[in-house]
Chain A
Amino acid sequence: MQIDLTVNGKRASLDAEPRLLLVHALRDVIGLTGTHVGCDTSSCGACTVLLDGVSVKSCTVFAVQASGHEVTTIEGIGTADELHPMQEAFWSSHGLQCGYCTTGMIVSAVDLLKRNPDPSDEQIRAGLEGNLCRCTGYENIVKSVRVAAKAMREHAPLHSVRDLMPIHPPAEEPPPSGEGIIIPALEKALT
């Protein structure tokens, strides 16, 4: 059947089986592979996208249900040229390790801040309870959302990946030792 939807601001049309899941339409037909499948059962949240601005788990939405609607995936949240503050915060706060849950986590967190621009840690945890991460233990994810919320409330300027590269130590966070760490072997060789 004919399905017409808007994905990240661009029109997409596909002819698909009625049972085609939105996540497979996005990944396998439209080619946006930033949305991941982790559980097929709406438990893990790796497949989270925005449907008309509201977060949904795209592994339990039929593509046909999105017909006539607007879908935003991680690719539409921000780009390397203009990172969303949430993406920048996950990067600067080490809110990810393997990255597999991260894209869904970022989309959910963006939706959370729309509803609550200044959440407490408890509200962040409750807001992201539908997204599972196996690597981080969540501490730095909560921190990332907190940092992004502050940046967004203060209308901090957006950055590109290039702005933040080379990835020298962020100016606000000098290395703990101040002057750097002396390499004992080299020091010995030079004295």
Chain B
Amino acid sequence: MAFTTMVGARIRRREDPRLITGRATYVDDVKQVGTVYAAFVRSPYGHAKLLKVDVNAAKAHPAVLAAYTGDDLHHAHGLKSSLPVAHKMADLKTPPHFILAVDEVRVVGEAVAVVVADSPYAAKDAAELVEVEYEQLPAVVDPLKAMEGPPYVHSSLGTNVAFRLPFAAGDTDAAFAAADEIIKQRIVNQRVAPVPIEPRSMVANWDAGMQQLTLYSATQIPHLLRTQLAVVLGMSENHIRTIAPEVGGGFGAKLNVYAEEVVISWIATQLERPVKYIETRSECFQAMIHGRDQVDDLEIACKRDGTITGLKLRIVGNLGAYHQLLTPVVPTLTLLMAPGCYQIANIQAEVIGVFTNTMSTDAYRGAGRPEATFFIERAMDLVAQRLKLDPVDVRRKNFIPNTAFPHTTSTGLTYDSGDYETTMDKALKIVDYAGLRKRQAELRKEGRYLGIGLSTYVEVCGMGPSAAMPAAGWDSATIRVEPTGSITVLTGVSPHGQGQETTFAQIVADELGVPIDSINVIHGDTDKVQYGVGTFGSRGTAVGGAALKLAIDTIQAKAIKIAAHA
């Protein structure tokens, strides 16, 4: 009988010794001889015409090596490409998103110039010498106002609506016509800032001899970043190396390709010096992607017993001023998860993505799916309130029964398994739900209010090849048995706190029957590791671990063959 000794064991994390002793290397800890420092000049206005951006005074500062405006980059140096957006919508409006603003700024914090100096303090001093003249334009920040008409964020589009995605399943009109009750509610998911404790950090270096660009960046996706850098800079991808060293948290906000990463990479090629940029926390609040910001209008058709028979939904996503990597995708994921744990056959919906003069929203902790949970769980409570039913009973009534798995939801996802009622009953037992309700009633008599909140939750996670991930759902792993018998694991995922240096070593130790100390897990360097997709959406072990298992199977088969001939 075979036992595992490592998987499931409570072992100490292998990455921790360097982290607890201050010996880890985050991007700002990367020291390279001759490093120069970039500082960005950012718009204080949400919408303005750029009348003048003059970097001459900054260039005259004795510590300054170079200063560039958007015009310099896009006209004088011919950097024409726009920052990338990954999407599959045929009619998505994709206005240009320059790496430094040209002619107009559309969001507070948009960079209009960059100054490079031989110390970070001097770079900040010199950035203050850049003269910018703005002519303020009307700005719009409310997506509901923005979708109705001017002012337009991108005047050339003649609209602020980036896309409309209609959706219908079943016969929602018939469900509403036959409903005992119809409930309408607006649900607002406020905007949030992701705020990893390590802000965006990057240092680029150009090796003129090897014609190689190396970018260290606090990123969740070193390989995807390399690909996009190649596209935007017009460079050959095999001459770019991206490295995510120790990364201080991401939360989705480092699952992106930022203008600053492109700008400092390009400057490194011009100056042939390492160029470092570490943003301040204020810049992080302004220019790192934001999350959520949806206004969802909900209409619920239900029967008197609490059964929900139909949903009408309008999901308005505030995209911000520009698309970042996954901006338009996020509100569509909300629609995908709209039914939650429930069997709702009839859904009529429209997802509307709207530009406003705000920072781009993008993938942040759940990226669109928690927004769906919020409104569907509110829907359960609203039905309970209206019909004077226990919210537990309304959920029970609408759950996908455990006999119905695998279950394909009306929005097209297949749930392979589940037993929601048993899970909920266990939770109710743990908190003594009946006792809480009794206590609530007693306190109410004394004029005191005890609130009892209830929520269930299911989410499309892992982001393997699936309906939620039409491209890039895979990941990669390589296992090398070195001549001395030590094992090197190269993983395409890019952990930044998730601990795969430990979990992957646990898996390999058990599967190959080797001591865990003989295993070294390497990640986050495109010159060391084969192409991988990265770490986001709870996919590190789910997808990267599955790739690892395939590599283990391959090397085991090879080892057995060799042993048989030995």
Residues of A within 8 A of B (CB): 17, 19-20, 24, 27, 31-41, 43-44, 46, 73-75, 78-80, 83, 87, 90-92, 94, 96-103, 106, 132-135, 161, 164-170, 173, 175-177, 179-183, 186-187, 190-191
Separation of A27 and B8 alpha carbons in the complex (Å): 39
* Interchain CB contact (< 8 A) of A181 among B3, B12, B198, B247: B3
* Shortest Cβ distance from residue A146 to the other chain B in the assembled complex, whole angstroms: 17
CB-defined contacts of A182 to chain B, threshold 8 Å: 1-3
Shortest beta-carbon distance from B199 to chain A in Å: 7
A181 to chain B, nearest CB (A): 5
**What residue of chain A has the Cβ atom nearest to residue B3's Cβ?**
A180
Q: Name B121's contact: one of A19, A27, A90, A97 (CB within 8 Å).
A: A19
Q: How far is the CA of A96 from the CA of B246 in the complex (A)?
A: 13
- A46: chain B residues within 8 A (beta carbon): 197
> Which A residues lie within 8 Å of B1 (CB)?
182, 187, 190-191
Q: A33-B22, A80-B21, A103-B22 are in contact. Are A38 and B198 (CB under 8 A)?
A: yes
- Across-interface contacts of A44 in B (CB, < 8 A): 197, 281
- Give, as a whole number of angstroms, the nearest-CB distance from B516 to chain A: 6
Q: Is the CB of A87 within 8 A of B2?
A: no
Closest to A81 in B: B21
Contact code string B404-440 (vs A, CB < 8 Å = 1, else 0): 0000000000000000000000000000000000000
Cα-based distance from A191 to B1 in the complex (angstroms): 8
Q: List 9 A-B contacts (CB under 8 A).
A: A31-B31, A33-B29, A74-B22, A91-B13, A98-B248, A166-B517, A168-B9, A181-B4, A182-B1
In the complex, the answer to whether B12 meets A92 with C-beta atoms within 8 Å is: yes
Tell me the minimal C-beta distance from A161 to chain B in angstroms. Answer: 4
User: Which of B15, B22, B502 gathers most chain A CB within 10 Å?
Assistant: B22
The one of A132, A175, A190 that contacts B8, using a Cβ cutoff of 8 Å: A175
Which of B9, B13, B282, B498 is within 8 Å of A175, CB to CB? Answer: B9
Tell me which residues across on chain B come within 8 A of A180, comparing CB atoms: 3-5, 8-9
Q: Are A32 and B22 in contact (CB under 8 A)?
A: yes
Interface: B19 (CB within 8 A): yes
Interface pair B249/A169, CB less than 8 Å apart: no
Query: Which listed residue (B8, B21, B497) contacts A98, Cβ 8 A?
Result: B497
| Overall SS of chain B's interface | loop
> How many angstroms from the CA of A92 to the CA of B12 in the assembled complex?
6
**Are A87 and B249 interface neighbours, CB within 8 A?**
no
Q: Are B197 and A181 in contact (CB under 8 A)?
A: no
CB pair A187–B497 under 8 Å, yes or no, is: no
Residues of the A chain whose Cβ atoms lie less than 8 Å from the Cβ of B24: 34, 99
A177–B20 contact, CB under 8 A?
no
Within 8 Å CB of B282, what residues of A? 40
Chain B residues bordering chain A, tally (CB within 8 A): 52
Interchain CB contact under 8 A, B26 and A176 = no
Q: Is B44 an interface residue (CB 8 A)?
A: no
- Roughly how many angstroms separate A75 CA and B516 CA in the complex, as a whole number? 27
Q: Which residues of B contact A90 (CB under 8 A)?
A: 16, 20
Contact with A along B20-44 (1 / 0, CB 8 A): 1111111011010000000000000
A151 to chain B: closest CB distance in Å? 14
Q: A99-B246, A176-B8, A187-B1 are in contact. Are A134 and B21 (CB under 8 A)?
A: no
A34 contacts across to B, CB distance below 8 A:
21-24
Q: Tell me if B195 is interfacial: C-beta within 8 Å of chain A.
A: yes
A96 touching B249, Cβ below 8 Å? no
- Tell yes or no: B389 within 8 A of A by CB: no
Q: Measured between alpha carbons, how far is A95 from B35 in the docked complex, in Å?
A: 34
Contact A99 B19 (CB under 8 A): yes
Within the complex, what minimum Cβ distance (angstroms) separates B324 from chain A? 20
Cα separation A101 to B247 with both chains bound (whole Å): 12
A40 touches B9 (CB 8 A): no
Q: How far is the CB of B272 from chain A (nearest CB, A)?
A: 22
* Closest Cβ neighbor of B278 among chain A residues: A37
User: Contact: B280 with A80, CB < 8 Å?
Assistant: no
Instruction: Check: B210 CB closer than 8 A to any chain A CB.
Output: no
Given A91-B20, A99-B24, A186-B2, 9 extra CB contacts under 8 A: A34-B24, A75-B21, A78-B21, A98-B197, A98-B249, A102-B19, A102-B20, A169-B10, A177-B8
Complex Cα spacing A136 to B170, Å? 43
B14 interface residue (CB < 8 Å to A): yes
Q: Min CB distance, A52 to chain B, in Å? A: 20
Check if A100 sits within 8 Å of B249, measured CB to CB.
yes
Residue of A nearest to B518 (CB): A166
- Tell me the smallest distance from the CB of A167 to a CB of chain B, in Å: 4
Q: Given the known A-B contacts A96-B16, A135-B497, are A187 and B22 also in contact in the complex, defined by CB atoms under 8 Å?
A: no
Check A40–B8 contact: CB distance below 8 A: no
Contact status A133-B197, CB under 8 Å: yes
Q: Which residue of B lies closest to A79 (CB)?
A: B21
B248-270 CB contacts (< 8 Å) to partner A: 248-249, 251
Please measure, in the bound complex, the distance between the C-alpha atom of A24 and the C-alpha atom of B13, giving whole angstroms. Answer: 30
Instruction: Determine the chain B residues whose CB is within 8 A of the CB of A167 once the complex forms.
Output: 11-14, 502, 516-517
- In the assembled complex, the CB of B545 is this many whole angstroms from the nearest CB of chain A, namely 14
Report B278 CB to chain A, min CB distance, Å. 8
Task: Give which listed residue, B2, B15, B498, contacts A183 with CB less than 8 A.
Answer: B2
Q: Which residues of B contact A79 (CB under 8 A)?
A: 21
Check if B473 is an interface residue, CB within 8 A of chain A: no
Q: How far is the CA of A100 from the CA of B246 in the complex (A)?
A: 9
* Closest A residue by C-beta to B280: A40
Residues 139-186 (chain B) with a chain A CB within 8 angstroms? none
Q: Which of B29, B247, B249 has the most CB of A within 10 A?
A: B249
* Contact among B121, B278, B516 for A17, CB-based, below 8 A: B121
A36 and B248 within 8 A (CB): yes
Least CB separation from B15: chain A residue: A99
Tell me if B470 is interfacial: C-beta within 8 Å of chain A: no
A166 to B14, CA, bound (A): 9
Q: Is B8 a contact of A181 with CB atoms below 8 Å?
A: yes
Asked if B85 is at the interface (CB within 8 A of a chain A CB), the reply is no
Bound complex: CA A73 to CA B17 (Å): 16
> Does B196 make an interface contact (CB < 8 A)?
yes
A80 touching B26, Cβ below 8 Å: no
From known contacts A83-B21, A97-B499, infer whether A36 and B26 are also in contact, taking CB-CB under 8 Å: yes
Residues of chain B within 8 A of A106, CB atoms compared: 20
Instruction: List residues of chain B with CB within 8 A of the CB of A100.
Output: 26, 196-198, 246, 248-249
With beta carbons under 8 angstroms apart, the residue of A36, A78, A166 that contacts B198 is A36
* Central interface residue in A36, A41, A190, by most chain B CB within 10 Å: A36
- Shortest distance between the CB of A163 and any CB in chain B (Å): 11
A175 engages B10 (CB within 8 Å): yes
Q: Which of B197, B251, B281 contacts A41 (CB 8 A)?
A: B281
Nearest CB in chain B: distance from A10 CB, A:
15
A40–B124 Cα gap in the complex (Å)? 14
